Amino acid sequence: MNSENIAKSVVSYCNSLNLECEVLVNNSVSKSANVRNQEKESVQIEENCSIKIKINKNDRSLSISSNNLSNIKELIDSNLEVIDSLPSSDCISTTEVPIKFQDYKMNSFEPSVDWLFDFSQRTEKSALENKQITNSDGACSSYYYNCISFLNSNGISGSYKKFSYANNLAVVAGSNQDMQVGYDFCVASDHNKLIDPENFGCRIASNTVSSLNPQKIGNCNVPVLLDHSVSSSFIDYILSSINGNQVVSKTTFLKDKLNQKVFSDNVNIDSNPRDVQAVGYRPFDDEGINSHRVPLIENGVLKNWMLDRYTAKKLSLESNGHGSKGQSGITRPGIANISIKPGKLSKDEIIKSMQSGLYITSLFGFGVNLTTGDFSQGAQGFWIANGKIEYPISGITIASNLLDMFSEMKFSSDIPSQYIINSPNILFSNMSVACK
């Protein structure tokens, strides 16, 4: 049974019980091939069909999720026993607006296992050719296919397919007391847009070797430049702080900042799930709401929260297509694809303009408090002096407050194309640095 027929059978059964419902079915295929030190280590192939059902009864709502589709009626019946004991809400509804989008011809290449192994081996081999690379933690190439179908009791329906391809590698440089582990990954909606495996492996090896023999620095306050490999995690903090669920629960320090200037003038960030070239392409969200470009931050002004139907109603607003069903089937606001307007100066030009400062290539730890905006994370990277990268550093903590960081942040003109969130480098004019 295909995903559309599965959804129809669920809606038909719920209709027979006079229940309002929405159904999301995901038929997926994934393949991955792992190598280590040029030996084929493992292969994993999975075919799966998952279903997520939301059932509304009067002013109560129940979410169901399962990978077992052998008897959906029993699944629904067994869960319905608890719906009357759930909390009531006046913010429960299902969409009534038809889904509209233009289908497009996508790259539907399905690689063989041999193709994936070859891609992994080529990536790792190019890294191992660097004589200062002493070991490999392995390379993995992957393929993912998803066919997603939506249907609700109002007859709103839609279906789309998406493909993605990924590659990652982890290597070790040095030995004994001076060892560094380097890791990176790339992902694309078209296998032809993956980074060339030889160049990718060589780059990871070079970056890892450059981190050997790190030095210590004293406590200071200096400008900090985030490499694009870690700036995407900082963008995650921005997105989390404007998530409708955080706003409704009043657990974000930005809860009262809508339509206020929070960021520097050059910060422009959009939600753009209908970009057909993006890994996060999604023509409609998991509640059947049409996706569209949503300006989140415009010239530094916080323009929109990320909202699903529930959080939108709680805030007396309209959903802007960010409904995302988690593994349990419960819907929360989530992001599909982000578009960031680049700055005017390249990374190299920014570094040349710095008399002293830090170029951060790794962040770790959980020192971010979205309720207060406090930011403190472990880091490693490179010391910059007189416009040049001088030497690697480690054992430091960088700290500030997110409001201060937002108000002074500047993007570089360089935007990678290898991540799910592709962010330029980010410059902060002043951060507190402590040496461990």
User: pLDDT tens digits, residue range 30-40?
Assistant: 999 999 999 99
Give, for 182, the enclosing helix (H) or strand (E): strand 178-188
Nearest one of 182, 163, 164, 183 to 173, comparing CA atoms: 182
**Predicted pLDDT at 1:** 60
- The reported pLDDT for the residue numbered 395 is 92
Higher pLDDT, 149 or 104: 149
- Whether residue 310 is predicted with pLDDT greater than 90 in this model: the reply is yes
- Whether the pLDDT of residue 243 is over 80: the answer is yes
The residues, ordered by sequence, that sit 6+ positions from 365 with a Cβ below 8 Å of its Cβ are 376, 377, 378
Q: Cβ contacts of residue 182 below 8 Å, gap of 6+?
A: 170, 171, 172, 173, 204, 205, 207, 208, 211
* Longest distance between any two alpha carbons in the chain, whole Å: 74
- In this predicted structure, the answer to whether residue 160 has a pLDDT above a threshold of 70 is yes
CB 42 within 8 A of CB 155: no
With a cut of 90, say whether residue 197 has pLDDT above it: yes
Positive or negative, the Cα torsion across 352, 353, 354, 355?
positive
The predicted structure's pLDDT at residue 365: 86
Query: Which of residues 212 and 336 earns the better pLDDT score?
Result: 212
Structure tokens at 88: 């009531």
Strand 410-411 versus strand 301-302 pairing type: unpaired
Identify which of 247, 235, 284 has the alpha carbon closest to the alpha carbon of residue 415: 235
For the chain, the first-to-last Cα distance in angstroms comes to 59
Give the pLDDT mean for 16-28.
95
Two tokens, residue 67: 């990978």
Q: Which fold has domain 3-209?
A: PmbA/TldD fold (3.30.2290)
Say what angle helices 3-16 and 72-80 make with each other, to 10 degrees: 40
Name the band, by pLDDT with cuts 50, 70 and 90, for residue 55. Answer: very high
Residues 411, 394: Cα–Cα separation, whole Å: 24
Instruction: Say which range, 7-16, 82-91, 96-105, 365-374, has the weakest mean pLDDT.
Output: 96-105
Model pLDDT, residue 89:
87
pLDDT of residue 107: 74
Percent of the chain residues topping a pLDDT of 70: 100
Residue 178, pLDDT > 90, answer no
The pLDDT of residue 23 is above 90? yes
Domain ranges, ordered by start, for the chain? 3-209, 214-436
Q: Residue 103 pLDDT more than 80?
A: no
pLDDT by residue (tens digit) across 249-292?
Answer: 999 999 999 999 999 999 999 999 999 889 999 999 999 999 99
What is the tens place of the pLDDT at every residue in 404-418?
Answer: 999 999 999 999 888
* Per-residue model confidence as pLDDT tens digits over 350-402: 999 999 999 999 999 888 999 999 999 999 999 999 999 999 999 999 999 99
Question: In the beta sheet, which residues pair with residue 270?
Answer: 295, 339
Residue that the structure tokens 């960081």 belong to: 405
- pTM beyond 0.85: the answer is yes
Pairing of strands 220-226, 356-364: parallel
Separation between Cα atoms, residue 410 and residue 383, nearest integer Å: 19
- Tell me the chain's radius of gyration from C-alpha atoms: 24
Indicate whether 140 pLDDT > 90: yes
Please list the alpha-helical segments (H only) found in 164-278.
Answer: 197-209, 228-241, 244-248
